[in-house]
Amino acid sequence: MNPEEFFRKAGLKPRPLQLEAAKQLAEMIDTGSVGFQAPTGFGKTITVLAAISLANAFPVTWRVRTHEIAKRIAEDCALLNFPFYIAAGREKLCPLKEEYKSNTYYFCRFLKFKCPFFKGLSSIKPENIFSVDYDQLLRKLKGTEICPYYAQLYQQAHVYIIPYSLGLSFDVNLEVIDEAHNMVLDVYSIPEAKLREALAELDIHYEPTGDLIQQAFIETAQMKIVELLERGKMPLIAGRVIAMLARGTIVWREEGEIHILKFIRPRKRTIFVSATLEPLQKIYNIPVLEIPVQRKPEALIATWMTTRFHEWDYKMAKEYNDLIFLLRKHFQRIVVFATKRVARSLRADYVEEAPKDWKGVFLLFSRGKKGEGVNIESEVVVVAGAPYLPPFIHVEKLGLTHDDVATITTIQNIGRTLRHPENNPLIILADDRFRKLKPTLDRYYTNIETDDLHSLDKAIQKYKASHPS
């Protein structure tokens, strides 16, 4: 089958360059892992599904960050008549989750051979549990003693749509990572007080001697949880807290919080899909099929500002608040991304989710919970400070540089306001260190440097004159 026939059978009219991209990607899949970079609105999902079909590479797993994206992938599979299954983790499927609560992961991973539902898998009849998603599977297994979580491995599909962190290993030929820039580098945090509370439950002494949390310390805590479960005791919060730390590649302390950097190296032949793959392609040493960006949003770099740790004081905080005040004069909807350290000094309230028809300043943490699958429509998006990791975090062992990490996070943040082709916010990069990142950022944005608040104001007025609302 050729690409033209694929789209014709699907009843779809290919968008510009989709046929060529599907054909070339199909050829590249045969040689190993590849990257596919295309702008928002190109139709990446259909193109990748077409390439997989042309390469006869089904079945595949398709990793996604949110359930909303999973449903969108499923809709495209249904359109193309590809059988699919949307999987879920233990927190949704384990029959004993109410009993074990935050310890479910540890019971299931280390003590599953004592579980009556895991033992019940021996009586499973795959033809009786065929489902399109985990909800349907739960309904079919209701009243049985069969584990729904592991029963997912008995599903028959062309495309298994699974969360990033799902540990099940489906028998597939290929893996697709959707919005790959998010999966390979994710940073999240918990209050250090929570870790102290968890370790107190485990009767483990915690007196940190440095900024890094050693992996051996985390492994000791994990084994203590398993030991308690074997004795019939249930820690209240330790299971969830230690599991979060265990998923991290690098764990460190900073300003009263524990930060966890998760870095994933896929084990199978993989297609990395994103609108912004660079600089990830050098990490994995993969060829990338890149569809050129047709429209680059405009970005103004505020070169007189910085959130560099040793230069951050009340005067610099005032500069950032003056910037927000200026933007309020020009725009009604302003999204600001900042680290927690910087956000505490800004005259704006942190919110998890913008209300419908919102106006004002919407402040989010640079590495906060809001991820892919959201569309924050705004007139302007500000990255208040280049989001660097602390210098004592040695990302070099991951094949990264600190500039790479700051670039990836910046692109992620801005991308949350560019979910659709019609989205066209003005971008403000408020830190002189963004000039270091320009070689990569220039691939995605038209970057213009400004050297004080007055010149930024003039650039905004010029932008508004050329972009009438």
pLDDT value at residue 243:
93
pLDDT value at residue 159:
98
Give the pLDDT band (50/70/90) at residue 351. Answer: low
Give the pLDDT band (50/70/90) at residue 314. Answer: very high
Residue that wins the pLDDT comparison between 221 and 309: 221
List alpha helices for 142-262, DSSP H.
148-151, 180-183, 192-201, 215-230, 238-246
DSSP state of 395: G
Note if the bond before 59 is cis, omega within 30 degrees: yes
pLDDT value at residue 204:
94
Range of lowest pLDDT (62-76, 216-230, 411-425): 411-425
Give the pLDDT band (50/70/90) at residue 373. Answer: very low
Rounded CA separation 429/299 (Å): 7
103-124 burial, b at 16+ Cβ within 10 Å, e below that, comes to bbbbbbebeeeebebbebbeeb
Q: How far is CA 260 from CA 185, 202, 209, 222, 408, in A?
A: 10, 21, 18, 16, 16
pLDDT digits (tens, 9 = 90+) for 392-447: 898 888 888 899 889 888 988 888 787 666 678 999 999 999 999 999 899 889 99
Report whether pLDDT(260) > 50: yes
Range of lowest pLDDT (129-143, 384-398, 413-427): 413-427
State mean pLDDT over 379-383.
95
Residue that wins the pLDDT comparison between 136 and 421: 136
pLDDT value at residue 70:
94
The overall average pLDDT reported for the chain is 90
pLDDT value at residue 350:
59
State mean pLDDT over 442-454.
94
pLDDT digits (tens, 9 = 90+) for 152-172: 999 999 999 999 889 899 999
pLDDT digits (tens, 9 = 90+) for 189-208: 899 999 999 999 999 999 88
Rounded CA separation 107/228 (Å): 10
Range of lowest pLDDT (68-72, 164-168, 178-182): 178-182
Give the pLDDT band (50/70/90) at residue 352. Answer: low
Give the pLDDT band (50/70/90) at residue 372. Answer: very low
Residue that wins the pLDDT comparison between 326 and 423: 326
pLDDT value at residue 25:
96
Residues pairing with 85 in the sheet: 160
Residue that wins the pLDDT comparison between 419 and 222: 222
Q: Give every strand in the sheet of 360-365, ordered side by side.
A: 360-365, 333-338, 380-383, 426-429, 298-302, 446-450
Report whether pLDDT(369) > 70: no
